[in-house]
Amino acid sequence: MSSRSGRAREYETSDQLPGRSASPPAPEFSETEAEGLIFYHMDLYGSKERFDIFPEEPSGQVDRSLGDTRRESTLNSEKFQCSQEAGYDLEKEVAELARMYGLDEDREKELELLGGHLETVESKWPPAHAEKAGSQGSVHNASKSSSPVKDQSQTTKQQGLPSEASQDGDQSKARVEDEAESHTWSREGLSSGGMSDEWSSQPVSEEEEAADVFCCTCKMPIRAFDKLFGEHKDHEVAQLPSAVESEKEEIHKNMCKLEEQIAQMENFASHLEEIFITVEENFGRQEQNFEAHYNDAVQVLAQKYEEQLEALGEEKRQKLEALYGQLVSCGEHLDTCKELTDATQELFLENNKASFMKAAVTMVDRLEEFLKKEVHLELSTLPDFEERVIDFSEVEQLMNSINTIPAPCAPVINPQAPNTATGTSLRVCWGLFSDDTVECYQLCYKPVSTERHSDEQAEHTLKVKETYCTITNLLPNTQYEFWVSAVNVSGISPPSERAVYVTAPSPPTIKTKKIRSCENAALVCWESRDINPVDSYTVELSKLTDEENGEITESIVGIPNCEVLIHLQPTQSYRICVRALNLGGSSERSEPVLIHTTGTYFCLNEDTAHPLLAILDDGFTIACDELENPECDLPVYDNSFTRCIGILGSLIPFPGKHYWEVEVEEDTEYRIGVAFENTPRHGYLGANNSSWCMRHIITPSRHKYEFLHSGMTPDIRITVPPKRIGILLDYKNCKLSFFNADIAQHLYTFSSQFQHYVHPCFALETPGILRIHTGIATPPWTALP
C-alpha cells in the first residue's frame, strides 16, 4: 500500500492525465471538499461490490455525492471522447492505472486465496462480455479511484464548459445502462456459481473441460469454484485424476466380471451344443435299438406261428388217420356181416336136408367165430383240437428289453491326486465318459506286491453309488491297485484300467538321544517307521515364548534324508516335529522334541562304551564299579572301546565355540577331552594323535594332572583340584581349553588344527562316576587374551 499511496500522491501533483492534452489548472479544493473525497478499491473480478460504486452515506452528504456523480460522469465522457480524438489506447491507460494503484497485486493475492480457481472461471467468460466488463470495470475503477480525475471533473463543472455540459446527461445514462447490463451478467454468472444463459448454451464438452474436481455426493465432475462458493460447498469431493482412476478400476473390475460371465456363457453354450449332439446321437442309437428289438420280436412271433401251425397240422393228420383206420375197419366188419347174412339166407332156402345140415354146421362155426370178435363202436379220437397255450415269455422279454438301456461301458479311473490320502485311508475317483445309465459301481482293490505270487493277494470289493470312494483301514505308505466296473440292469461293464494309489506315510520317530544343538543351530535325526521309502520329509518348528502357545513359525520342506541341520536363534526354546511325505500326502506329526539353544547339547554314544562302563538313567552320568569282571556278559559292539574304559559323545558338527562341563570326584581318576571318530578303540585316550585329553591320576605325593596329545604332556601343576571342569572347544581358533569352573581358573589350552569335527570323550581309570553337563552358555571368563 505504500507504493500505491506514493503513486497516488505523485499523480495528484501532475498537471495532466497520460495520453491527454493539458487541461486548465484545477482550482484548489476547500478543506471540506478534501475531507469528502473518497478513494475506492475496485474489484475487477465480477464481485457484487464492483457495481456498488458509492457506499451508503448519511443523508447530510447526499448532495455532495450527487455532485460527485455528475462530475465523475462528465469526466468519463471527456476521457472517452478525448481518447477517440487523440487516438490513445484506453486499455493501456486502464492497465497503467491498475498497475499504479496496485490492483494487479490484489488480483494475485485473491488468486492465491482461491487456489487459482477464479482464473478458470474468468477463462470461461464469453469474450464479448468479458471484454466489456473488463473495460467498464477499468474505466469505473479509474474514475472511482483517481483523485486527479475527480479534481478535473469538478474543475470542469465549475468552469461550465458548454460541450461537456451538453453531453453530461446522455453519457451518464449510457454509463448507467452499461453498468446495469454488466451487473446483471455478473449476478447471473458468478454469484450463482454458474454461467449466463448465453454461455450455458455452449457445448457440454466445454463445461466438462472446466471441471477439475469430482463431487462424490452428486457423482459428477464439478469446478473447484463450485466447491468453494457454489451449491457443492458442503459436498464431499475428490481429485479428478484419483476419481478417474477409481472409476477406471471399477470399470475394469466390472469388465473382468463380464469377461468371466462371457467365458461361462460360452462354456455353457459349448456344453449345450455337446448335449444337443448327444441327444441326436442317443436318439439315433435308441431308434436303432427299437428297430432291432421289434424285428427280433416279429421274428420270434413268426417262428412261434410256424411252430404252432405245424403242430396243429400234425394233430389234424393224426386225427384223420385214426378216424380213417377206424372207418376202414368198420367197413370191413360190415362187409363180413353182409356176407354171413346172405350165406345164412341162402342156407335157409336149401331144401335138401342133408346138404342143409352139412352147410349149417359150418355156418354156425363161422358165425360163432365172427361174433366172438369185439367190435369198437367208440371214436378213436375226438373231433376237437386241444387248447394250445402260446409261450410269449421270450417275446415279452424282447419287448421289455426295448425300454432297457444296454450294459454300460468301462469306466475310466483317475490317477491319484496329491495330498488325498492319509496313513490309513485313500480317496479314489473315476469317471464314466459315456451316456450309459449306471445303478452302481463295483470297486475292487488289493495291495501291490513285488513278490511273484502277487495274484494271491486278497481282493476287496465295494459297491458304490458315487464316482468316488474313501477306503479306510489301510496300511501306511503302501501301494494299492484299484479298478472299477459299472453296473445296471442289463449287466456289468468291463473293468477299467488299473491304477496304483499309495497311502501317506506313518509319522517318523525322532531320535532324541542323537539330537545335537548349539547356540545357533541344531542337528535333528529321525527314522521312518515304514518299510517302503518316502519322497521327502518336512521339519516344523515352533518357538516357545510366554505370549505364544507354540504355533508353527517355520517349516523346512523337501528334506531327502533322515537328518537336517537347522539354524536357530540363541537363547530360545523350540518345539520340533517331523512329517514324512509321499504322493499320497503328508503323515501326521511325529512326537515333538524340545531344543534349547542356551549352549551346546550332545548325547553319549552307547555303541562306543566299554562293557564295564555304565550310563545311568539321566543319560549324562557314567559310572564304573570295578575295573575287571571276567564274568562280564555286557554286550560288546564293534565300535566299543576295549582297553580304555571310555565312551564318546555324539559328534559336534557345528562351527564356532562349544562349552560343556564335567563334574568329577576328588578321588576318581579320569580322562576327559575330545577325539576324532576314527580314534583307536583298543588304545587310551590322549595316547594318539587323534585325541586330546586332560588326565587326573592320584600319586602317593599329590594329585597329578596331565594334558595328553600323542602321549606327550607339559609339566603343569594345579594347586586347587577342580571338581567341576569346564571344556571350551573353539573350532575357528583351533583351540581346546580346560578350566576350573568353580573358581574360573584357566588350566591349559591345546592349539591344534582340527581337520574334522570331533566327539567329546570320557574315560574312568578307577571306579567312580562322571557327571556331564551340557546346554550351558559359554561363561564370559573363558575368553582368553
| Run of H or E residues at 658 | strand 657-663
| 559, 536 Cβ separation under 8 angstroms | yes
**Cell numbers at residue 234, please?**
458442503
Task: Choose between 104 and 614: higher pLDDT.
Answer: 614
- Residue-wise DSSP of 79-124: HHHHHHHHT--HHHHHHHHHHHTTHHHHHHHHHHHTTTHHHHHHHT
Note the pTM of the prediction, 2 decimals: 0.48
Q: Which residues neighbour 615 within 8 Å (Cβ) at sequence distance 6 or greater?
A: 604, 606, 609, 621, 622, 647
Q: How far apart are CA 144 and CA 57, in angstroms?
A: 16
Q: How high is the pLDDT of residue 634?
A: 54
Nearest alpha carbon to residue 754 among 737, 771, 731, 780: 731
DSSP assignment letter at 650: P
Q: How far apart are CA 654 and CA 555, in angstroms?
A: 21
Q: How high is the pLDDT of residue 90?
A: 63
User: How confident is the model over 19-36, as pLDDT tens digits?
Assistant: 443 444 444 444 444 444
One-letter identity of residue 181: E
Confidence of residue 207 (pLDDT cuts 50, 70, 90): very low
Sign of the alpha-carbon torsion through 16, 17, 22, 23: negative
User: How confident is the model over 698-756, as pLDDT tens digits?
Assistant: 888 888 999 999 988 888 888 889 999 999 999 999 999 999 999 999 999 999 888 88
Cell numbers 489506447: residue: 89
| 476, 506 Cβ separation under 8 angstroms | yes
Q: How far apart are CA 505 and CA 530, in angstroms?
A: 7
Alpha-carbon distances, residue 307 vs 196, 298, 420, 588, 645 (angstroms): 110, 14, 63, 74, 107
Q: How high is the pLDDT of residue 283?
A: 76
Average pLDDT over residues 623-646: 74
Q: How high is the pLDDT of residue 338?
A: 87
Q: How high is the pLDDT of residue 274?
A: 72
Indicate whether 204 pLDDT > 80.
no
Query: Which of 47-51, 253-257, 546-550 holds the top average pLDDT?
Result: 253-257
User: How confident is the model over 470-503, as pLDDT tens digits?
Assistant: 999 999 999 999 999 999 887 888 999 999 999 9
Confidence of residue 182 (pLDDT cuts 50, 70, 90): very low
Q: How high is the pLDDT of residue 401?
A: 63
Confidence of residue 87 (pLDDT cuts 50, 70, 90): very low
User: How confident is the model over 664-699, as pLDDT tens digits?
Assistant: 998 999 999 999 999 999 999 999 999 999 999 988
Q: How far apart are CA 70 and CA 155, in angstroms?
A: 12
**How many other CB atoms are found less than 10 A from the CB of residue 692?**
23
Q: How high is the pLDDT of residue 188?
A: 40
User: How confident is the model over 555-584, as pLDDT tens digits?
Assistant: 899 999 999 999 998 888 899 999 999 988
What 3 state SS string does 537-555 have?
Answer: EEEEEEEECCCCCCCCCEE
Indicate whether 775 pLDDT > 70.
yes
pLDDT, averaged across the chain? 75
Q: How far apart are CA 90 and CA 80, in angstroms?
A: 8
**Cell numbers at residue 226, please?**
463450485
Indicate whether 45 pLDDT > 90.
no
Cell numbers 584357566: residue: 746
